[in-house]
Structure 1
Amino acid sequence: MSDQLKQAVLRYTGEHSQRDGVTSTPVHGLYLIRRTTSSDLEYTVEQPLVCLVLQGHKRVTIGSSTLSYAAGDTMIVTGNVPMASRIGQASIADPYLALALDVDTAVVTDLVLCTSEVHSSQPAPDTGTDLRDAVHRLVRLLDRPESLAVLKDSLIREIHYWLLLSHQGSAVRNLGLPGSNARRIARAVALLRADYARPVQIERLAAAAGMSRSAFHLHFRAVTSLSPLQFQKHLRLMEARRLILSKDKRLSEVAFEVGYESASQFSREYARMYGQPPIMHKRAALMLPPVFPAPT
């Protein structure tokens, strides 16, 4: 099954993408990734998702934990967390291949409310095989729009069902519980993502989460591993890097657009996160084709 899924992803990315990186699909939240070169260290703030590594190797650091994912491994992200990752050796002959699907909290909620089996404290055996089978059937339909329109929702629901029965099922289940800390913090994170360039208003974020200011700070760090200000800084600097690599903006314009009033502060914080000042990345971007980081 893994080989068949790998071939399906390789074929689709070859036919629908003109460059390395992320290939969007007709299914909202489903992305296929192909890289023919190893990557530099890339920073993202991931929303809840499942990522299936089909070929190659990826090293991921979340907080103080560093994990390696190789072909056949599945990574499940159950919170809005900052992540640093690097794709290992990859080539045209043996590209890195992966598939990522956003976790839909509405689907999780529906399954939790109407399916008693997902409340078991013990994960079901070998759900990985069932998960990949459902994902493979979804990918096979990407070039069959009529069939995809009819079967997509049921396949997405099946995939989420297997996630709820996986070894991280309890964490996935919390995403669907309206009163859970993960769900409440997610509402605040959505505000931060939508308005990251403006000063953080803790009272507004805490109100969105339905928490007191002190409880909000505590639970925000527990869910994301960062304070709200640190989380916003990650969002600003990641968007700044994307704008720099697009090559059509001056650094002062980039700093202002992502919310910095001081160009020197922007340069210091950018260098602290990426290991080089923004001017170095700007010069590299002027000489090389843009490379945009994959979401997983």
Structure 2
Amino acid sequence: MVTEQDALLPESGSQNSRYAELIEPIARWSRGFSDYETAIPGLGLFRREGPAPPAFCMIEPSIVVVVQGAKRMWIDEAAYRYDVSRFLITSLDLPGRSEVIEASVEQPCLGLVLRLDRFLLAELIAQGVAPLSRERGSVPSVGLGAATPALLAPLARLVALLDEQAAIPILAPLILREIHYRLLQSDQANRLRQIAAVDGHGYRIARAIDWLKTHYASPMRIEELASQAQMSTPTFHQYFRQLTTMSPLQYQKRLRLDESRRLMLNEHLDAASAAFRVGYESPSQFSREYSRLFGAPPKRDITNLRRTSARPS
């Protein structure tokens, strides 16, 4: 069943005023780009000048804040709409589909992506920053958070550093620490605690995902992966699916297919070479699974992607 995760705050005109200090610099720095990697480690800006259908992407543990317009993230069959009243947060690396639903040339969809620092979160949690949650068990690794003034203020100061780049090495770490503190004080504290607490299931699944990202082309033995995570195989399966919405094997398959697409598109490998590079032994199996995920056989899909990217904006 397709469900959309609703906002935690109602949209209002006053909400836009909270973003006044973010809209101008993001619009200026992203002009001419779809995605802009800034000089601040872990901070990226984005700009979309029209609605766009869902596009496959790999999401890092991060927050995504829209300061103008609206987007929707699809994780499996669940849809998360985020806009000026709520931000998207992911606590694990997840495959998803990103959709632009409100944007125009006159009022582009603008925002920022900030990668989360798991070690900084763990340090702050060890200092007793995050309030203890009454919830038991694991929570999904993706959700929506309320965009509060307490969080937006340090984000605005962080983006403002792009105009004072000599100060970035000194001030950015202090502001990033405050942002992580604010997140641990927010309605998303339990989601973040789950992947930062070293004795928790979320932290162990995150370590397993780190291994899969590095060894996606290697054969995978679930028993060995569960052992590395210090879990029984059934428990590992249960929490992996609960947190990522897919099995470890499905997750590895997504990593392989996403990487094969990148190899064909950017490094101009043919389908068979890309299939072998990412760990497939059968090109025909690769073609079937690629078509099932991306909606077209490898050669046709890559041709369509190149044709689309070559069109004038």
State the TM-score bracket (shorter-chain normalisation): 0.7 to 0.9
Residue equivalent to 1:74: 87
1:46 and 1:190 map into 2 onto residues whose CA distance is 13
Partner of residue 69 from structure 2, selected from 46, 56, 65: 56
Residue equivalent to 1:39: 52
Of structures 1 and 2, the one scoring higher in RCO (CA 8 A, sep 6+) is 1
Unaligned runs of 5+ in 1: 292-296
Residue equivalent to 1:159: 179
Residue equivalent to 1:149: 169
Q: Secondary structure at the match of 2:72?
A: strand
Please tell me whether the aligned partners of residues 84 and 147 of structure 2 are also in contact (alpha carbons under 8 angstroms).
Answer: no
Residue 161 of structure 1 and its aligned partner are, at CA, apart by: 1.0
Q: Which runs of structure 1 show a deviation greater than 4 angstroms over 4 or more consecutive aligned residues?
A: none
Residue 89 of structure 1 and its aligned partner are, at CA, apart by: 4.7
Please tell me whether the aligned partners of residues 53 and 70 of structure 1 are also in contact (alpha carbons under 8 angstroms).
Answer: yes
1:27 and 1:121 map into 2 onto residues whose CA distance is 36
Residue equivalent to 2:127: 114
Residues 163-206 of structure 1 deviation map (CA, whole Å, 9 limit, x = unaligned): 11111211112222101111011000001001111211323322
Q: Secondary structure at the match of 2:39?
A: coil
Please tell me whether the aligned partners of residues 86 and 147 of structure 2 are also in contact (alpha carbons under 8 angstroms).
Answer: no
The alignment's C-alpha RMSD in Å is 2.4
Residues 98-143 of structure 1 deviation map (CA, whole Å, 9 limit, x = unaligned): 2111111111111111135633669xxx772111110110011023
**TM-score of the aligned structures, taking structure 1 as reference length:** 0.87
2:283 paired with 1:263:
yes
Please tell me whether the aligned partners of residues 81 and 225 of structure 1 are also in contact (alpha carbons under 8 angstroms).
Answer: no
Equivalent residue letter for 1:181? H
2:103 and 2:259 map into 1 onto residues whose CA distance is 26
2:152 paired with 1:139:
no
Unaligned runs of 5+ in 2: 1-17, 136-145
**TM-score of the aligned structures, taking structure 2 as reference length:** 0.83
Please tell me whether the aligned partners of residues 129 and 185 of structure 2 are also in contact (alpha carbons under 8 angstroms).
Answer: no
1:60 and 1:287 map into 2 onto residues whose CA distance is 25
* Structure 1 stretch displaced more, 165-174 or 226-235: 165-174
Q: Provide the aligned length of Structure 1 versus Structure 2.
A: 285
1:264 and 1:38 map into 2 onto residues whose CA distance is 35
1:75 and 1:145 map into 2 onto residues whose CA distance is 27
Q: Secondary structure at the match of 1:92?
A: coil
Please tell me whether the aligned partners of residues 30 and 102 of structure 1 are also in contact (alpha carbons under 8 angstroms).
Answer: yes
2:2 paired with 1:21:
no
Partner of residue 206 from structure 1, selected from 223, 226, 235: 226
Residue equivalent to 1:175: 195
Please tell me whether the aligned partners of residues 127 and 165 of structure 1 are also in contact (alpha carbons under 8 angstroms).
Answer: no
1:198 and 1:45 map into 2 onto residues whose CA distance is 19
Please tell me whether the aligned partners of residues 58 and 69 of structure 1 are also in contact (alpha carbons under 8 angstroms).
Answer: yes
Quick one: percent identity of the two aligned structures? 35
Equivalent residue letter for 1:42? A
